[in-house]
Structure 1
């Protein structure tokens, strides 16, 4: 079941009642249609959690991405977040009084305290990625991301902002139901309980359990909806913002970007690409068109080629412009729009590809068998 099922539900045939007068039957028909649609939507939201595999991909992706980010900045951690940073804890505390941000990194100026916090951040990211006690580790991961983001808020970019938002949204979801240590523990527990006698529960306990399951399902589905809406808003606003710029209007925006030293990890590659202005103009127009059209293609099969175009765009941004964190954040966020049947089919596809690509072991000849025996 994919994210698109949150937005669309099966059509329900509604026929007007014979008791309604000819003058009032259109309003009654509309009322019944709206009620049927609202009932179907409520049944979809409260029925069962959607996009469990997609949210698990987001959990694994953002946990791994932030873990790699912290390991990458490990040699520079003192200058970025530590007590020796130019943006001192005292300055950060003054900013927090104005903005309302908070970070547990400024609770102490001790270097030992900072090293302990950094080690705990690494462990939390790893546990969140693996899905161990996801309900608790998701909250801890959101606190880690928010604290590190607020501590060096002037050194962040769009990728950091999106990671923070997604970390907060994933707290609402049941992102540990699939591909996690929690899911493995649940399977083992269910296997052990097969031969055990069923324990009868009181009516109040059954109702309380049913209410808990319904509440968890509703919160999870609403969290998935918010994540999808956030990504749609991001792409749509980015595309509309580009439309207003004259550089994107005349197709020269990528020319100026490729000539900025800040976005030239491979200057030779940037100069080679800049030698094809027509191609860069077409790529720029295609980028704007894809971003603006993205929120409107989610309900059909056209979203799949659009997602492929966005994947290529983010890979190019990561390689050519040197923004791997931003590109990785966006690629992971796009995974929420793939249905669960894609993720369930993916392991079978990988195994089939591995079997086709495997090279069979060479069969020894008759003389070689005798030589090996001697």
Structure 2
């Protein structure tokens, strides 16, 4: 028992886990929220601004009951709202790029929470998970890989005194513990989401008899492509199989994470979310779920992916001039002629006549 506790403590404090996964979450959610804000830019006043049917006064009355807060309700001025919207766009860009991530991640969480609370009745379920992930990422070291912070910290820094080294070591240990706990909470949140969704579906009669997706495909509110939905609905057997497979994937997801079976399950879940994005018109929700699934891929996958991308971006013939350094035969043989002082023995051998 003590050995297991020691292993758990060592795993928690020795090194940060899944740094590349955290970077993918940062880039993915920063990009998604930027796309979301730009997509709703023509309708920003009707959703979050002073001209919204859900007025700031109504929002403040709801906050008194729920305890929520939002920076958008601090003023009813249109100029103030436009400044907040511009700040949200800028924060999303900086968060995606990983610039001063410790501070910008807090601002990003405040922005997401404020916009979510301001129009809580006008968004879909993807915003709930978006808000949770934005808060969780505040505690992670999501800026250590693939970020501007990582490029800046790659430069050598001054060693400093003993007190500074001790303070730096304490900060590194605290950051590692917070990061590992944050990544564990993120993984647990995704597992809980899939497991609860699958168990709720099992209790429903329409999912049990295989007709749930038939009713989903005939909802006018979630049918951006009616002709495509009707075309798929003409194959009841395939629709029933897809419904059973959806329930099976969601229920089994928390139990396949520690084996190789998780890779085909993740691929099928990505296909499921792509189908939801196209058939139900919920691209932001699907994007949030796909990015959340990326936390379960190991760092070696992202390292190999980065090496593959860097190798494919090189021009043809790059690195052939260093063949001799890697042990391959050089195109031009080494030329005789010593450089610098030569020992007497070498000089005598060089002057010996050839036979």
1:348 paired with 2:348, answer: no
The CA distance in 2 between the partners of 1:113 and 1:144, in whole Å, is: 14
The residue that corresponds to 2:349 in the other structure is none
1:92-136 alpha-carbon deviations (Å, 9 max, x no partner): 001001101000001111000000000000000000000000000
The CA distance in 1 between the partners of 2:58 and 2:215, in whole Å, is: 35
1:90 paired with 2:61, answer: no
The residue that corresponds to 1:76 in the other structure is 43
Query: Which of 16, 23, 27 pairs up with 1:60?
Result: 27
The CA distance in 1 between the partners of 2:210 and 2:120, in whole Å, is: 33
The residue that corresponds to 1:22 in the other structure is none
1:151 paired with 2:110, answer: no
Query: Which of 219, 233, 254 pairs up with 1:295?
Result: 254
The CA distance in 2 between the partners of 1:39 and 1:224, in whole Å, is: 20
TM-score (norm 2): 0.87
Indicate how the Cα distance of structure 1 residues 200 and 114 shifts in structure 2: closer, same or farther if over 3 A, else same.
closer
1:326 paired with 2:269, answer: no
Unaligned runs of 5+ in 1: 1-33, 358-374
Indicate how the Cα distance of structure 1 residues 116 and 37 shifts in structure 2: closer, same or farther if over 3 A, else same.
same
The CA distance in 2 between the partners of 1:354 and 1:219, in whole Å, is: 35
Query: Which of 148, 154, 161 pairs up with 1:201?
Result: 161
TM-score (norm 1): 0.82
Q: Cα offset for 1:208? A: 2.4
The CA distance in 2 between the partners of 1:356 and 1:281, in whole Å, is: 49
SS of structure 1 residue aligned to 2:121 = helix
The CA distance in 1 between the partners of 2:251 and 2:292, in whole Å, is: 17
1:171 paired with 2:138, answer: yes
The residue that corresponds to 1:250 in the other structure is 209
1:259-298 alpha-carbon deviations (Å, 9 max, x no partner): 0001111000000000000000000000000000000000
Unaligned runs of 5+ in 2: 317-355
1:45 paired with 2:35, answer: no
Whether the 8 Å CA contact 2:159–2:165 is kept in 1: the answer is: no
The residue that corresponds to 2:336 in the other structure is none
Alignment of 1:1-374 (within 5 A): 34-187=1-154, 189-190=155-156, 193=157, 199-202=159-162, 204-350=163-309
Aligned residues: 316
Indicate how the Cα distance of structure 1 residues 256 and 200 shifts in structure 2: closer, same or farther if over 3 A, else same.
closer
Q: Which of the pair has more CA radius of gyration? A: 2
Indicate how the Cα distance of structure 1 residues 153 and 200 shifts in structure 2: closer, same or farther if over 3 A, else same.
closer
Q: Cα offset for 1:354? A: 6.9
Indicate how the Cα distance of structure 1 residues 128 and 355 shifts in structure 2: closer, same or farther if over 3 A, else same.
closer
Runs of 4+ in 1 over 6 A off after TM superposition: 353-357
The CA distance in 2 between the partners of 1:237 and 1:311, in whole Å, is: 18
Q: Cα offset for 1:249? A: 0.3
The CA distance in 2 between the partners of 1:71 and 1:307, in whole Å, is: 29
Q: Cα offset for 1:200? A: 4.9
